[in-house]
Amino acid sequence: MPRKSPRITSKQVAERAGVSQTTVSFVLNQVENSNISEETRKRVLDAARELDFVPDVRAQALARGRSNNIALILTNPHRQVFVDEYVPTILTGLTEVTQQHGFRILVELVSNTSNADAYRNLIQGKEVAGMIVNLNAKMTDDIEQILGYARDRVPIVTLDAVHPDVCSVMVDKVGGTRTIVQHLVKLGHRRIACITYGPLEDVHPAARLRVYRTVLEEAGIAYDENLVRVGAFDPETGYGAMKSLLATEHITALYAMNDVMAFGAMAAIREAGLRVPEDIAVVGFDDIRLARFSTPALTTMHEPNVEHGRRAGEMLIDLINGVTPREKHALLATRMIIRQSCGAHLRRVDGEEM
Amino acid sequence: MPRKSPRITSKQVAERAGVSQTTVSFVLNQVENSNISEETRKRVLDAARELDFVPDVRAQALARGRSNNIALILTNPHRQVFVDEYVPTILTGLTEVTQQHGFRILVELVSNTSNADAYRNLIQGKEVAGMIVNLNAKMTDDIEQILGYARDRVPIVTLDAVHPDVCSVMVDKVGGTRTIVQHLVKLGHRRIACITYGPLEDVHPAARLRVYRTVLEEAGIAYDENLVRVGAFDPETGYGAMKSLLATEHITALYAMNDVMAFGAMAAIREAGLRVPEDIAVVGFDDIRLARFSTPALTTMHEPNVEHGRRAGEMLIDLINGVTPREKHALLATRMIIRQSCGAHLRRVDGEEM
DNA sequence: CTAGTTTACTAATGCGCTTTACTAATCCGC
DNA sequence: GCGGATTAGTAAAGCGCATTAGTAAACTAG
């Protein structure tokens, strides 16, 4: 069990180096215009190394008036965030930049999106220097208020929702939707079902559904709301939605708004004795690692999640440092990955360039 | 952009309530034997609420001599940790208990397992009150030294590796391996391949491979090292390993040490024109959410990851509070989930009770 | 009615650092 | 050789809380 180890403070480093605590602080923090001679500098550095000195971050944070933590706030974790590699990949990109700047990541799960207290404590408690929020719910008054409150006190970047005044980095799921639904249309499909996720008012599903509809109509295909089903972020709902589609509708293609639902849907199609893509073409969205290994391999839109985390981190650190980010709202492009499930390989499609 | 909001301190609460700062602290922290009258208590509470007071955690941590953060240290994140739902599920269980006790989670990615500095800074910098480490590498001198160093200074719980002196919560992957390999044996298989992950010296793969061998030998099946391939934590390696197995060996069953590799392996089997489970039975390990939705649905061992995180959190908080945990090394059981990929449903197996 | 105890608080110190204001010594130009 | 600028530092205050030691008043017990 932990025993009290002798705590090394900057005062002890000062003593050992024969200088004042101030000098130690100046040297260790490389304060400019502090006029420390090279010789003294070296003595301090040596002393610090010999004593194995690591400054107490709590004291630093208190004295500096700024924490060195950044919060990653995950709202609705169980509904949508904790699926596939989303969190790990975001974290990968994020830590890549935060580590460089000496920030640590505080992960906070907020189950109720409009739970203002979680934010309040984090901010007022001075626990974090900035926050990155995964917020994909509908922009209600509640949320707008929370965002406003937060933004007035601490730099903040959202990963999804766009509030005009709050910086954000967002994956262009809407553009991706256009691309992939057009892909299905080009393959000749006219009965294209859609499995979306709810609530339909939320940022992405609403806009994506609209684009799905637009693309169909542009191709002269009437929008049929019977072909739209609402799932969630798990294979089960995709499976259920497909079952229900198969029971009542005749379709030749499916656009599932995430890969995981596409997996479920394909299972349902198989159970019904139908083949993918011969009977029903299926496309997903996200490009999870397993997408390449489903039966058949899933055609999908690739989301740059590592980049997503990285950009959000960079933007936040800019804000923390008082630098105005070049773009207030960054949009990251998705990329279509054509595999087998859409049936493109069967039809000798001419160069899909989108 | 954030403007300086008037910081509310306990001193202001004190003023408003007409008491001393000490009293505010006593009331807010519910200090025992502080003899605060009910009336004063109420005045303080009211003032705090009216001013929207949230104590500065940095100052609290400094004054109390204890941080209220717990580190979740993820070693080798890209190699194995950032697969499927592992991190999210661990986080779910962990935050469940940490939130109750007022601790926050600091996530730290350590790419090099024997990178002592990461631990040192976290500990010496007094950033955390305790650490949970996902350490699944071979117990080298390096690691043993790091663990020793850490444990001498701060409570620590490992999620995988077992150092006799360091508390741990671990999923019984070895026991699970026994169960599921026995399952394949009972189904009549004699040529059972194994796709493990490396490095083979690490905690789990070594022990699991040993059990795989033991189970075979107990059934009178000679261990054939040609049937063992080393993959990793991604479908690609499972796919590659299976390709290579199919090229040279005749097998009727496969035990993949994780579901993701099993997915890859199944893809390879299909490509070779063989059927799962008729030609080759496949079982995985982990029970990821998609396991139920592969073709065919994957038979696997379920890992209680939420429970894993929860137990680790409970154990750590006990240690932090100076309570000796009931068990120093907890072992969590896995559960076999029989689906289609093992072919059990084809053979009318008598009640699989394990 | 007084000494001792309990009740209900408060003053003041310290956690370990950063930072501002200050000082002593040296340098430099004329 | 003297005033101002520069160099190389330091002393001390303060960040916002927890906590220890202490105090004044009220309440007992004898």
Cα of B178 to nearest chain A Cα, Å: 27
CA dist B96 and B98 (Å) reads 6
Which band of pLDDT confidence, cut at 50, 70 and 90, is reported for residue A292?
very high
- A293 interfacial to chain B (CB closer than 8 Å): yes
Q: Determine whether the distance from the CB of A68 to the nearest atom of strand C is below 7 Å.
A: no
**pLDDT of res. A242:** 98
Mean residue pLDDT of chain A comes to: 91
CA dist B148 and A265 (Å) reads 50
Structure tokens at A196: 């979306």
Q: What is the pLDDT of residues A194-210, one digit of tens each?
A: 999 988 888 789 999 99
pLDDT per residue rounded down to tens, chain B (354 residues):
454 456 899 999 999 999 999 999 999 999 988 889 999 999 999 999 999 999 999 999 999 999 999 999 998 766 666 767 889 899 999 999 999 999 999 999 988 766 778 888 999 999 999 999 988 777 788 888 888 888 889 999 999 877 888 999 999 999 999 999 999 999 999 999 999 998 888 878 999 999 999 999 999 999 999 999 999 889 999 999 999 999 999 999 999 999 999 999 999 999 999 999 999 999 999 999 999 999 899 999 999 999 999 999 999 999 999 999 999 999 999 999 999 999 999 875 454 444
Taking contacts as CB-CB distances below 8 angstroms, the residues of chain B near A107 are 72, 91, 95, 105-107
**pLDDT of res. A113:** 65
Q: What is the pLDDT of residues B59-106, one digit of tens each?
A: 999 999 999 999 999 987 666 667 678 898 999 999 999 999 999 999
- Most B CBs within 10 Å: which of A3, A49, A56, A58, as the mutation test of the B interface? A58
Strand D nucleotides within a 7 Å radius of protein CB atoms: 7-12, 14-21
Percent of chain A clearing pLDDT 70 (strictly above):
94
**Residues 182 through 211 of chain A touching chain B, CB cutoff 8 Å:** none
Which band of pLDDT confidence, cut at 50, 70 and 90, is reported for residue A151?
confident
Q: Which of B57, B126, B260 sits opposite A126 (nearest CB)?
A: B57
- B115 interfacial to chain A (CB closer than 8 Å): no
Q: Which chain A residue lies closest to B76 (C-alpha atoms)?
A: A92
Q: What is the pLDDT of residues B102-125, one digit of tens each?
A: 999 999 998 876 677 888 899 999
**pLDDT of res. B353:** 44
- B295 interfacial to chain A (CB closer than 8 Å): yes
- Most B CBs within 10 Å: which of A147, A290, A298, as the mutation test of the B interface? A290
Taking contacts as CB-CB distances below 8 angstroms, the residues of chain B near A5 are 152-153
- A2 interfacial to chain B (CB closer than 8 Å): yes
Answer yes or no: are the C-beta atoms of B137 and B161 closer than 8 Å.
yes
**pLDDT of res. A352:** 46
Residue A160, pLDDT above cutoff 90: no
The mean per-residue pLDDT over the stretch A52-56 comes to: 95
Percent of chain A clearing pLDDT 90 (strictly above):
75
Give me the A residues in range 41-70 that sit within 7 A (CB) of strand D. Answer: 59, 62-63, 65
**pLDDT of res. A81:** 61
SS3 string of chain A?
CCCCCCCCCHHHHHHHHCCCHHHHHHHHCCCCCCCCCHHHHHHHHHHHHHHCCCCCHHHHHHHHCCCCEEEEEEECHHHHHCCCCHHHHHHHHHHHHHHHCCCEEEEEEECCCCCHHHHHHHHHCCCCCEEEEECCCCCCHHHHHHHHHHHHHCCEEECCCCCCCCEEEEECHHHHHHHHHHHHHHCCCCCEEEEEECCCCCHHHHHHHHHHHHHHHHCCCCCCHHHEEEECCCHHHHHHHHHHHHHHCCCCEEEECCHHHHHHHHHHHHHCCCCCCCCCEEECCECCHHHHHCCCCCEEEECCHHHHHHHHHHHHHHHHCCCCCCCCEEEECCEEECCCCCCHHHHCCCCCCC
**pLDDT of res. B163:** 86
The mean per-residue pLDDT over the stretch A308-332 comes to: 95
- A103 interfacial to chain B (CB closer than 8 Å): no
**Residues 12 through 31 of chain A touching chain B, CB cutoff 8 Å:** none
